[in-house]
């Protein structure tokens, strides 16, 4: 591959950058999967009350009083607005987006920005890795060619599949963030009381620029 040729010639800049990106993606993966995504703890009920009030001030249109606060039927803590109980993690998660089986953790208020960073770095690694694998393939219509390049060709095809998945996931996540909604809210709009009783389809939307600013900054 091109990367191997550069390493053999002593041109180590690109191999080191690629290795650094791979290491960065692994570290981000571990960080996102092991960190607290925003669990609501029983001893934080006063904090939850203030967080819920802050969420209500951020909505464009006030939701009815009857649906502003609720107590979780599983862990019995008072949920701030936009929180949801995760059956896999057995916790309520603030600004719950989804439970990701790939990281075996919820994506919520605390780790959502890092999850986007992880997806972005991983997509760069996959695109670069696909280019590296493709550069090492020399096509020839013979059985010896298939045996020689089988692993490299399989790797390239797997990279293509994972690249498509990562790209679609990143695009959908950025779209939802720009609308200031979550995957859970987008998929279950008709089941969520504070959305179902609101006159607006998305009472949290404050415009693309402000939505992105509030999420990332």
Of the two residues 153 and 35, the one the predictor is more confident about is: 35
Q: What is the pLDDT of residue 2?
A: 80
Among 67, 100, 133, the domain-final residue is: 100
The alpha carbons of the chain give a radius of gyration, in whole angstroms, of 22
Residues 13 and 87 in one domain: no
Residues 92 and 192 in one domain: no
172, 122 contact by CB (below 8 A): no
Q: What percent of the chain has pLDDT over 90?
A: 52
Q: Note down the domain range covering 13.
A: 2-38+101-216
Residues 82 and 61 in one domain: yes
Among 100, 123, 148, the domain-final residue is: 100
pLDDT at residue 29 is higher than 90: yes
- Report the 10 Å Cβ neighbour count for 56: 16
Residue of 86, 100, 179, 217 marked catalytic? 100
Residues 16 and 51 in one domain: no
Residues 124 and 61 in one domain: no
Q: What is the pLDDT of residue 72?
A: 81
Residues 108 and 76 in one domain: no
> For the chain, what is the domain count?
2
What's the whole-number mean pLDDT along residues 44-49? 56
Residues 19 and 45 in one domain: no
pLDDT at residue 96 is higher than 50: yes
The span from the CA of 33 to the CA of 30, in Å, is 5
Quick check: is 179 catalytic?
Answer: no
pTM: 0.82
């Amino acid at each position: 591959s091109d990367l191997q040729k550069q390493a053999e010639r002593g041109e180590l800049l690109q191999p080191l950058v690629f290795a650094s990106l791979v290491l960065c993606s692994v570290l981000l993966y571990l960080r996102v999967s092991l960190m607290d995504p925003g669990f609501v703890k029983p001893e934080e009920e006063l904090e939850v009350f203030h967080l819920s009030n802050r969420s209500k001030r951020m909505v464009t249109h006030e939701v009815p009083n009857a649906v502003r606060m609720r107590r979780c039927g599983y862990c019995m803590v008072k949920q701030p607005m936009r929180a949801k109980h995760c059956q896999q993690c057995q916790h309520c998660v603030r600004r719950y987006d989804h439970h990701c089986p790939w990281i075996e953790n919820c994506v919520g208020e605390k780790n959502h920005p890092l999850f986007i960073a992880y997806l972005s770095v991983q997509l760069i690694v996959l695109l670069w890795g696909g280019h590296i694998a493709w550069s090492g393939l020399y096509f020839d219509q013979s059985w010896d060619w298939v045996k020689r390049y089988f692993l490299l060709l399989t790797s390239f095809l797997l990279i293509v599949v994972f690249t498509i998945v990562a790209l679609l996931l990143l695009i959908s996540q950025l779209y939802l963030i720009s609308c200031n909604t979550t995957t859970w809210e987008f998929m279950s709009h008709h089941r969520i009381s504070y959305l179902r009783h609101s006159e607006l389809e998305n009472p949290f939307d404050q415009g693309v620029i402000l939505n992105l600013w509030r999420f990332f900054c």
